[in-house]
Amino acid sequence: MKHTIAALALLTLGASALAAEMTEEQKTFYALGQIMGRQTSVFAMSPAELEMVKQGIGDAVEGRKAAVDMDVYGPKVSTLAQSRRAALVDKQAKEGETFADAAAKEKGAVKTASGLVFIPLVRGSGAAPKAEDKVKVHYVGKLPSGLEFDSSVARGAPAEFPLNGVIKCWTEGVQMMKVGGKARLVCPPAIAYGENGTGPIPPKATLNFEVELLDIVKDAPAGK
């Protein structure tokens, strides 16, 4: 009973306070829950569906008999995952299109033939790079939801790369900038990571970058 009361008390705390009150073992079990949650996020569960999952976990952990025939319903989990994933991808794709359409209506925005939406934030006064140039930039990348998936700013170190070695959106968009400038690049999936996505970027995702062009990098002559 004491353990149950303690567990309930932990659930009422905020995230940082929760961690402060946890033992090392509790933190590990919490991490287990986070891993399970991320692995099942594709199901986009409603609160009622999440309760069913919790019941299933509880029955299995406590050794109780399953409430359904697992030979029948176990194989259906994969089919459900595929269906929910497809629905989630379509939803995200439509949200991305809506986001890009709204961005294209912002003041100063330019929408190119590729679908890129270029929004200047600070006009640069230096040179404009070419596709074969190496550039030095600071950037923050977000999904339309506002979720940040990458940031050189957060890492505290600018990124350097050849413009023809990155996604087409960047190759095109950064060439529209001048050194010292800053702009937003809204990238539809066709010129970003396409149908499959990559890492934390989901399939068919529209991406929203804020990019500051710091410099065009000139390689030192050989032998220097």
- Alpha carbon 140 to chain centroid, angstroms: 11
Residue 133 known to be catalytic: no
pLDDT, tens digit, for every residue of 63-72?
A: 999 999 999 9
Residue 82, domain member (yes or no):
no
pLDDT at 20: 79
Query: Which own/partner contact pairs does 90-93 have at CB distance under 8 Å and 24+ positions apart?
Result: 90/204, 92/144, 92/202, 92/203, 92/204, 92/205, 93/189, 93/204, 93/205, 93/206
d(CA 59, CA 70): 13
The answer on pLDDT for 91 being more than 70 is yes
If asked whether residues 113 and 65 sit together in one domain, one would say no
Residue 187 belongs to what H/E stretch? strand 182-187
Structure tokens at 123: 């006009």
Residue 209 known to be catalytic: yes
d(CA 162, CA 136): 9
If asked whether residues 115 and 203 sit together in one domain, one would say yes
If asked whether residues 57 and 139 sit together in one domain, one would say no
Closest CA to 160 of 168, 170, 169: 170
d(CA 79, CA 127): 53
Whether the predicted model's global pTM rises above the 0.85 cut: no
Averaged pLDDT, 132-150? 95
d(CA 115, CA 100): 9
The amino acid present at 66, given as its one-letter code, is: A
d(CA 101, CA 111): 9
If asked whether residues 106 and 213 sit together in one domain, one would say yes
Instruction: Give the active site residue among 59, 149, 161, 215.
Output: 149
Instruction: Give the active site residue among 99, 119, 193, 201.
Output: 193
If asked whether residues 41 and 143 sit together in one domain, one would say no
The answer on pLDDT for 23 being more than 60 is yes
d(CA 112, CA 221): 36
The residue out of 41, 59, 76 marking a domain boundary is: 76
Check which CATH number belongs to the domain holding 145 and give it: 3.10.50.40
Averaged pLDDT, 16-27? 83
Residue 167 known to be catalytic: yes
Instruction: Give the active site residue among 43, 161, 167, 216.
Output: 167
Residue 99 known to be catalytic: no
Instruction: Give the active site residue among 150, 161, 215, 216.
Output: 150
- Helix, strand, or coil here: 180? coil
Residue 149 known to be catalytic: yes
Mean pLDDT of the chain: 89
Which of 131-135, 206-210, 218-222 has the least mean pLDDT? 218-222
Task: Residue 60: give the domain boundaries.
Answer: 2-76
Count of domains for the chain: 2
* Strand ranges for 4-158 from DSSP E: 110-111, 117-122, 134-142, 148-151
Instruction: Give the active site residue among 99, 118, 119, 139.
Output: 139
**In the chain, what is the straight-line distance between the N-terminal and C-terminal CA atoms, in Å?**
72
Q: Token pair 């006064």 is at which residue?
A: 125
Strand 148-151 relative to strand 159-162, pairing = unpaired
If asked whether residues 138 and 68 sit together in one domain, one would say no
Residue 121, domain member (yes or no):
yes
